[in-house]
Chains A and B, each alone.
Chain A
Amino acid sequence: MSEPVSRREALKRLGATGAAVAAVSGTALWLHGRRPRGAAPEPYALPSWAVAKPASAPDLVVARGSPAASLVTAALEEMGGIQRFVQPGDVVLIKPNAAFDRPAWQGSTTNPDVLRAMVAACMDAGAREVLVTDNPIHVPEGCFRKTGLGKAAEDGGGSVWLPRKADFGPVALPDTVLDGWEVFLEPLKRATKVIGIAPVKDHNLSRASMTLKNWYGLLGGPRNRLHQKLDETIATLAGMVKPTLSVLDGTRILIRNGPTGGSPDDVIDGNVLAMGTDGVALDAFGATLLELGVADLTYLQMAEQWGHGASDWMALDTREVTV
């Protein structure tokens, strides 16, 4: 027989065991039935970033001439000034088309001069920050470098937000093809104003890629599967994103071999830039630059049918300026 343990030692040892048991049980109880990691978060309903339109302000402005940056300035002025859209303290998210790792002259991406001017205008209006982002087809880092859009964003005083996996989450769009789809949410959640700047491009399947197709760059997930319902998807995007301002960049027009281009023969100098809040109207105007009509663009008809805009841009308060 060995010596019995002292009361003091027994208490100490039992206390240690008890604490360990309590810790394990407590942890188990705490974890029991919790939402597992990686479970889909709640779908997020995107707000509208549109601002009220002053009675005297136009719906759509078409600026013609060059250089590209002056078109932005002139069109903004005609629209009623950047102050109509951006107030001091705003976080402005600008979505150019940076889909491809290609130089700007190939016309497959937004003209960096247009982006730079727009970023600078927002900063001048007192924006707290200007975020420039896209979820491109090619490797994002290369896209923002070679297109010159990354440098343009920084020159203008903004910053580039490269997509990361954690930035994506499901969007709430009940009864549409995109309900629950992975969307590039984080920058959208942070933004108080959203501006899209889309080039005018030829596209085989949807016939044209302009301001509405530009929002495709906010989609994540296996978005190449959406091509099976491309027109429906683009029309849905017109309802998903209600931007503060949309810019149609026709300074260069990719007239064939879109949306990638690749040869100087595929691009013409358009020397035109349009601005408005209705993407449907802007795309209807842009169609004329590609020698298309609304009848050629199924997605445009769908978007109009679903009440996301008006394709008869000539019936709107449209103003022209020349630089």
Chain B
Amino acid sequence: MGRVILLLLATALGAFIVAGGRTGPSSLVAQEAPQVVTPFPITSPAGWPRGAIEHYDVDGLFEKINGKADAYIVFDVIDLTFAGYANPQDPSVYVDVYIYDMAEPLNAYGIYRVQRSGQEEAVDAGAEACRAGSAFFGRKGSHYVEVVGSAGSATTEARAVLGAVLDALPAAKEPVRDPAWFPDEGRTRILYARTNALGVESLGDAFLARYADGVRAAVARFASAEEAEAARAEAVETYEFLGTPAHFEAADKLVVGALGSKDPERLKALVAAILAKIKEGL
């Protein structure tokens, strides 16, 4: 009996010592450096150090970009991160970087197209990028990026930063491309609207095209044919009430419309052409 107890005590001691060999409270060891998930490089390609990273959520967006914020909110912006790089020799030479997380690639496409006129010099970076003076704009995945160099002095650096930032951002699984629905002739821009396409509230999730003669066309997408038909009826009613020439047709889950010309035939022909291209695509 006594021996059994002594053996038990020895076992307890062994268990205690074995337990002591295991890892203990993690606060005693140095934590690993967290992987910094930021697309901002620590220094710019020319070695200019990065300033503090600023972070703005939807509510704080006005603080940073004032009235421009509304345009982003329409496209469901989640947040903006900002960081600046300055030339250590001359702080008046700088590059500022704005990265907008737009939640979805379509939103990034939409805000990019609204912000850019389409006349800018194209730049090969990300899904799409362009340049206006010493400012660069680009989109990739669900992000929209603006890189603003100090006027005249930081163009090269701004271009390099844009490339670095867009490279670091994740690409979309299915990149957004311009649809092939709109006839090319006289077309100036293709845009995207979450709602309110062609001034009709119910026309949502729509690609838009603008033509040199002022005509605007839209292809709005719906969850069902019934919804599409209802939206078409509302659009027709709206423009009949306004007395403005416009033409809308529904086709399955789509509504195709055009306006902006006094000639109803021009509008009808454009809608027919778009419908034909859509059918062709299918």
Contacts and interface: CB of A to CB of B under 8 A. Distances in A.
- Enumerate the 10 nearest inter-chain pairs by beta-carbon distance, A residue then B residue, closest first: A103-B30, A105-B33, A146-B30, A264-B36, A291-B88, A268-B42, A264-B33, A103-B31, A265-B53, A264-B34
Contact of B33 (A103, A147, A255): A103
Contacts of B33: 103, 105-106, 264
B49 A265 contact: no
Interface in B41-58: 42-43, 49-50, 52-53
A269 interface: yes
A265 B31 contact: no
A67 B30 CA distance: 21
Interface of B: 28-34, 36, 38, 42-43, 49-50, 52-53, 88
A291 B49 contact: yes
B91 to A, nearest CB: 9
B88 to A, nearest CB: 5
Nearest to B31: A103
A148 B52 contact: no
Contacts of B53: 265
Nearest to B53: A265
5 contacts: A103-B31, A103-B32, A105-B33, A146-B29, A268-B42
Given A264-B36, A265-B36, A269-B42, A255 B49 contact: yes
A145 B29 CA distance: 8
Interface in A245-261: 255-256
B28 A268 contact: no
A104 interface: yes
A101 to B, nearest CB: 9
Contact of A148 (B30, B49, B50): B30
Contacts of B42: 268-269
B36 A145 contact: no
A268 B49 CA distance: 8
A212 B122 CA distance: 53
B46 to A, nearest CB: 15
Interface string A97-123: 000001111100000000000000000
A68 B36 CA distance: 21
Contacts of A147: 30
Given A264-B36, A265-B36, A291-B88, A256 B52 contact: yes
A162 to B, nearest CB: 17
Contacts of B34: 264
